[in-house]
Structure formats: C-alpha cells, structure tokens
Amino acid sequence: MSRLAAIFGCAGPRLGADEAAFFRDARPWGFILFKRNVETPDQVRALVEALRETVGAPAPVLIDQEGGRVQRLGPPHWPRYPPGRAYGELPANDPLIRREVVRLGARLMAHDLAELGVNVDCAPVLDVPGPGAHDVIGDRAYAADAEAVAVLGRAAAEGLIAGGVLPVIKHMPGHGRAQADSHQRLPVVAAAMEALEATDFAPFRVNSDMPMGMTAHVVYTALDPERPATCSPAVIRRVIRGAIGFDGLLMTDDLSMKALSGGFEARAQAALAAGCDVALHCNGSMAEMKAVAAGARPLAGAAARRAKAALGRLAKAREPFDVTAARARFAAAFEGRWAA
C-alpha cells in the first residue's frame, strides 16, 4: 500500500485516538516532533513507536535539533548544544579543528536522537547570512562566508550519518539574504542570479549528495518574481535540481508558516506540483493536516525513488563511539567560549 507524500506532527506528548486513526488512514511517509511532544526519554520513545505503528511500516521520524535557539531536546534530560555560529568562531590555527568539533557535536546529537528512535535531524543549516538580513537565521549559520558554511555543514551532516541519523540540508536554495522571517511573512530576495550562485547556492552544491533537503519559503525575483521557492517549478527545476544538482528527497519547509498564502490543500498541491517530493506540516492541527492530506498525493515515481534512496543511507550499524569521552572532548573545545 502506498504512502502519502507528507510528513505530519502531532499535538502533544502522547498520540490521541483521533490522531492515530487519521494517520492509519492517511499513511504519511513520516512524522516530526517538536518541544510540545517531548517530556522524558521513555515518553519520547513510546511516542515514536506509537507513530510508526500507525503506518505499519518503517517511517522516518524527524526533529529540529540544530543547537542554540533551535533545539527541541534539552535539559534536564538532554544536553544543550551551541548554535552553528559558535563552531565557526572557535579559535583555531587549522580550520580542520573547527570541522572536527562540528562533526563531534553532530555525532553527539545523533547519539541522543538514535537512543529515542528518531532517525532524521532537520540540520545542518547551510544558509549564508547577508548584510541587513533578518536574524531568523543569524547565529544558526556556521559563518558569514559560503566556503566555511559548506565545509562545516558537511562535517555536521557526516557526523549525523555516522550516528545513524539522516541530515536534512536547509533552506534550499538559501534563506540567508531574507529580510523577513518566513514564519511570519513572505521574504523577497532581489539579488542577481550571479550573486546567488556565488554565495547562496554554493554550500548546497558542495553538499548536493546529501539524502534530504528542505526548501525555503522565499521569493527570489531573479528566478521567479511571483512564487516562493517551495511552490516554484522554476526554482526547483532550474536551481535546486539543476544548478545545485541536488537529487535527494526534497521536502517543503513547514506549510503552516505565514509566508505561504491560500488554504492548506492548495499549499500542498502547489508545492508538490512545483517539484517537492514531500509536504511537511508541523503544528499538529487536525483540520490543517486533513486539508494537507487532501492536497497531497501518493508517494510514487521519482519521489518514491528518492524516499527509498534517502532511507537507504541509514547506517546498518552506528559508528563505534565512546559517548562519555566524546562529551568531555566537546566540552573542552568550548570551555570559556560558550555557556551550556
């Protein structure tokens, strides 16, 4: 039986009967967790198992665990992790030291997630902040130059994969120049194509082999003056699949963000018609999820191939890892530079 080209959230820390019935009927490809779904390790494990049971087949369970401001798991049960920028600002004579610390941090986060059954992290952020940009990206970015973002982003992705967790590179083809928060309104970027290619697209090109990616709800006037990347065939075909060369599973950013307009059925239809493989809806609203499900379609064709290939990147066995020693090394790298 086919799966729906959608990823859904749920309302609370335990799966409600109405949610379970809806998921059994809709059969989404995956699920996503937020802070509202998290209490204790045992509770999260039980929720993850309950979500997967509703579709009766392997299903990816996602979370946003970047560190810094965007961290769904935190104290007292899980460590705090620094924001991306803290890695980029580590003093080091050799840039490879920063790269190794990034990989170590991601490997530790993968350990935390894998222990819960969560196998996809919506990270790393590969956006390159531009002058005057809104701070919605801000210190989530590893650096202000594309080369450093590309290198450190790959290190994070590799650390996650080694720990049995798939990375999601975001926000394609680049949210760094946006002067508005797409959670609240639609950003418009007027930079020329040459500037976008040189800076914004560059980290995604370097990481184009990664299994999963997420779109940006941003209009790029040089590419499509009317539609945000999520809903733009021009951006997805010409840039994400073309200039960047990404052939992994492409999911939307959250369809409930205010950057998008129209009903939820129409949002899902537009995103999938533009070339996204999977529609992501996060807030757990049953009415909205039902509308997204109505606008989505069965996962088939190239989208199904990419979904299968993405899950095929999950390691059969996690990289051997001494978590206690790793936490000590990680803490030492940031001693006096970042307060947990």
By annotation, the residues acting in catalysis are 183, 253
Give 295's Cβ-side CA count (13 Å radius). Answer: 24
Residue 33, exposed/middle/buried by CB under 10 A (0-12, 13-18, 19+)?
buried
**Phi, psi of 193, deg, nearest 5:** -60, -40
Residue 64 has which token pair? 């946003």
Q: Name 219's bridge partners.
A: 188
DSSP H or E run through 264: helix 264-274
Please state, in angstroms and rounded to a whole number, the distance separating the CA atoms of residues 231 and 250: 12
7, 116, 325 from 62: Cα distances, Å: 9, 11, 27
Instruction: Quote the CA–CA distance of 14 and 338 in Å, as a whole number.
Output: 34
For residue 214, what are the β-bridge partners?
Answer: 251
Q: How far is residue 323's CA from residue 115's CA, in Å, rounded to a whole number?
A: 12
Helix (H) / strand (E) element for 120: namely strand 120-121
- Looking at residue 248, the DSSP 8-state letter turns out to be S
How close are the terminal C-alpha atoms of the chain, in Å? 46
Tell me the C-alpha distance between 224 and 244, whole Å.
16
